[in-house]
Amino acid sequence: MALEDHPGSLVVVTNREPYIDEKTNQGIRRLQSAGGVVSALDPLLQRSGGAWVAWGSGSADRETAPRGIRMVPPNQPKYPLHRVFLSPEEIAGYYNRYSNQGLWPLSHMLIERAQFSREAFHLYRRVNQKFARRVAQMAPRNGSIFSHDYHLALFPRMIRELRPDVAVAHFWHIPWPPFTLFRLCPQHQEITRGLLGADILGFQTPQDVDNFLTAVERGLKIPVDRAQGIIQVGTHRVTVRDYPISVDITAIEQMVKTPRIQRWTEGIRKRALKHGVSLAISVDRADYTKGLLQRLEAIDKFFARYPEHHRRITFLQVVVPTRTEVREYRRLYDQFVDASARLNNKYGDAAWTPLIHIRRSIDRPRLMGLFRAAEYALVSSLFDGMNLVAKEFISAQIDNRGVLLLSDMAGAAQELGEAFHFNPLDPDEVAEQLHRAALTTSADRARRIESMREHIHHHTIYDWIAHIVEALDEVADTYAAR
Ligand code: GDG
Shortest-distance atom of ligand 1 to CA 388:
17
pLDDT at position 3: 56
How are beta strands 200-203 and 167-171 bridged, if at all?
A: parallel
- Compute, in angstroms, the gap from residue 365 CA to the centroid of ligand 1: 14
- Compute, in angstroms, the gap from residue 172 CA to the centroid of ligand 1: 15
pLDDT at position 43: 85
- Compute, in angstroms, the gap from residue 102 CA to the centroid of ligand 1: 20
What is the phi/psi pair of residue 302, to 5°? -60, -50
- Compute, in angstroms, the gap from residue 49 CA to the centroid of ligand 1: 26
Question: Under a CB-based contact definition with an 8 Å cutoff, are residues 11 and 146 in contact?
Answer: yes
Q: Probe ligand 1: pick from 107, 246, 283, 406, max atoms within 8 Å of CB?
A: 283
Report the SS3 class of residue 258.
Answer: coil
Q: Probe ligand 1: pick from 387, 414, 456, max atoms within 8 Å of CB?
A: 387
Give the residue whose CA is nearest to atom 33 of ligand 1. 389
The three-state DSSP-derived secondary structure of 400-427 is CCCEEEEECCEHHHHCCCCCEEECCCCH
Report the SS3 class of residue 226.
Answer: coil
pLDDT at position 15: 96
For the chain, 482 residues long, give each residue's pLDDT as a single digit of tens.
455 555 678 999 999 999 999 999 999 999 887 677 887 889 889 988 899 999 999 999 999 998 999 999 999 999 999 999 999 999 999 999 999 999 999 999 999 999 999 999 999 999 999 999 999 999 999 999 999 999 999 999 999 999 999 999 999 999 999 999 999 999 999 999 999 999 999 999 999 999 999 999 999 999 999 999 999 999 999 999 999 999 999 999 999 999 999 999 999 999 999 999 999 999 998 899 999 999 999 999 999 999 999 999 999 999 987 777 778 888 888 999 999 999 999 999 999 999 999 988 899 999 999 999 999 999 999 999 999 999 999 999 999 999 999 999 999 999 999 999 999 999 999 999 999 999 999 999 999 999 999 999 999 999 999 999 999 999 999 998 88
| Residues having CB within 6 Å of any atom of ligand 1 | 34-36, 173-174, 245, 283, 285, 318, 320, 361-364, 367, 384-389, 392
b/e map 7-42, b = 16+ CB within 10 Å: eebbbbbbbebbbbbeeeeeeeebeeeeebbbbbbb
- Compute, in angstroms, the gap from residue 437 CA to the centroid of ligand 1: 24
pLDDT at position 5: 59
Residue 14: beta bridge partners?
Answer: 54
d(CA 119, CA 184): 17
Question: Under a CB-based contact definition with an 8 Å cutoff, are residues 271 and 367 in contact?
Answer: no
pLDDT at position 4: 58
pLDDT at position 231: 98
**Residue 263 CB coordination number (10 Å):** 11
d(CA 206, CA 204): 7
**CATH fold group of domain 3-245+462-480:** Rossmann fold (3.40.50)
Structural domain boundaries in the chain: 3-245+462-480, 249-458
Shortest-distance atom of ligand 1 to CA 411:
30
> What are 336-343's contacts with CB under 8 Å, separation 24+?
336/286, 336/292, 336/293, 336/296, 339/293, 339/296, 340/296, 343/296, 343/299, 343/300, 343/303
- pTM recorded for the entire structure: 0.96
pLDDT at position 150: 98
228 HSE (CA, 13 A, CB side): 9
> How would CATH label the architecture of 249-458?
3-Layer(aba) Sandwich (3.40)
Domains 3-245+462-480 and 249-458 share a fold: yes
pLDDT at position 1: 44
b/e map 54-74, b = 16+ CB within 10 Å: bbbbbebbeebbeebebebbe
Q: What stretch of H or E contains 474?
A: helix 461-481
- Compute, in angstroms, the gap from residue 350 CA to the centroid of ligand 1: 34
- Compute, in angstroms, the gap from residue 37 CA to the centroid of ligand 1: 10
Q: For helices 388-396 and 249-257, give the axis angle rounded to 10 degrees.
A: 50
Closest CA to 464 of 209, 228, 202: 202
pLDDT at position 6: 59
pLDDT at position 37: 83
Question: Under a CB-based contact definition with an 8 Å cutoff, are residues 290 and 323 in contact?
Answer: no
